[in-house]
Amino acid sequence: MATGPEAVTCGEAMLLMLAEPGVPLDRAVHFRRSVAGAESTVAAALARLGHPTRWLGRVGADPAGEAVLREMRADGVDVSWAVADPDAPTGLLLRDSHPQRPLDAVSYRAGSAGSRLTAQDLPPEAIVGARLVHVSGVTPMLAPGAAQAVHRLVELARQSGAAVSFDPSVQHTLGTDHDWMRIAGPLLREADLVVAGEDELEMLLGGGAEQVAKALLELGRARTVVVKRQDHSTLAVTRDGQWTHEPFGVQVTDPSGAGEAFTAGWLSAWLRELDPERALAEAACVAALAVQAPGDTDGLPTRTALARALSLYG
């Protein structure tokens, strides 16, 4: 019987305080508590889709950190290797939600526990047995020590035989374009699986996204590059060919978290060795379900719910 996780994600998990639907952040009075973070959202999505998943990272030894870990456990994520930092707070994100206007968000992550991640927090034993290790560009942008930790995790994945997946998840509040190119950009060439926005690839490497994808296949380690286009269609490129998929037409409640939901859907399909065409369809469906609910994780489906939605959307 297999033991340990099938997938491991590593990075930031913050307490999310989400304003009541449709109300601008500066006018909101009522908030819902949840969890936000590129890597923690992917972990929750993979766990709901039936994959034993472990999250590695730091939260504060505070009520916010306890709430974050409790919600992740409730989703089935293994947080037994998470570090509770007694000297730094859990990061906090305040944001609103609206399908037809830009979202307002304020993050309090400077000096947070998540930004204090170190290579010492990531022992080799934490990824033993994993087939996949997933990281984003957010964590290395938080602090130099966190960047070193992410690169160390990639080395450990190589040594253990796990595939490395990377989603830049660019957030411009964390640095300039040059900062992102310098700090997060090199991870594109280190990943076996790349899932990135069209604009992210163009910004990080220059050139058109399709050309960049093909260059990563030729010059980097990538086996597959998946491009999330700005019109919400998607493209998967491998050495054997390329496939596209149009988005499912659904009524959007909260667009935040769609990118991570799509990434998790793709990674789930990859773990189950589905073909690229089916993988794009499943990933698009996971994203479509996610944006119909408020918050980053509320709409993430189980495997059964995903199958039911795919049969409905066709």
- 8 Å CB contact between 254 and 97: yes
Output the pLDDT for position 181: 96
Output the pLDDT for position 2: 53
- Res. 219: pLDDT tops 90: no
Output the pLDDT for position 60: 98
Q: Which helix (H) or strand (E) holds 314?
A: none
Average per-residue pLDDT for the chain: 94
Output the pLDDT for position 134: 98
Q: What is the dihedral of CA 196, 137, 187, 189, to 10 degrees?
A: 10
Q: List, for residues 167-213, the tens digit of each pLDDT value.
A: 999 999 999 999 999 999 999 999 999 999 999 999 998 878 888 89
Q: 74 to each of 79, 169, 297, how far by Cα in Å?
A: 11, 25, 12
- What SS3 class is residue 140? helix
For 99, what's the count of Cα atoms within 13 Å in the CB-facing half-sphere? 11
Amino acid present at 76: G
- 8 Å CB contact between 58 and 89: no
**Secondary structure E strands in 90-247:** 92-95, 105-108, 132-136, 163-167, 193-197, 224-228, 234-238, 241-245
Percent of the chain having pLDDT more than 70?
A: 99
Which whole number is the average pLDDT over 46-69?
A: 98
- Res. 1: pLDDT tops 60: no
Which whole number is the average pLDDT over 139-155?
A: 97
DSSP state of 4: S
Q: How far apart (Å, rounded) are the C-alpha atoms in residues 294 and 314?
A: 24
Q: How far apart (Å, rounded) are the C-alpha atoms in residues 169 and 22?
A: 24
Q: Are strands 53-56 and 224-228 parallel, antiparallel or unpaired?
A: unpaired
CA dihedral sign, ordered 82, 49, 8, 13:
negative
Q: Give ∠ CA 70-142-43 in degrees, rounded to 5.
A: 35
- Least confident segment among 182-191, 213-222, 304-313: 213-222
Which whole number is the average pLDDT over 91-113?
A: 91
Output the pLDDT for position 67: 97
Which whole number is the average pLDDT over 25-42?
A: 95
- Res. 304: pLDDT tops 60: yes
Which pTM does this prediction carry?
0.95
Output the pLDDT for position 206: 84
Position 285 confidence tier, pLDDT thresholds 50, 70, 90: very high
By residue count, the chain amounts to 314
Q: List, for residues 247-269, the tens digit of each pLDDT value.
A: 998 889 888 889 999 999 999 99
Output the pLDDT for position 102: 85
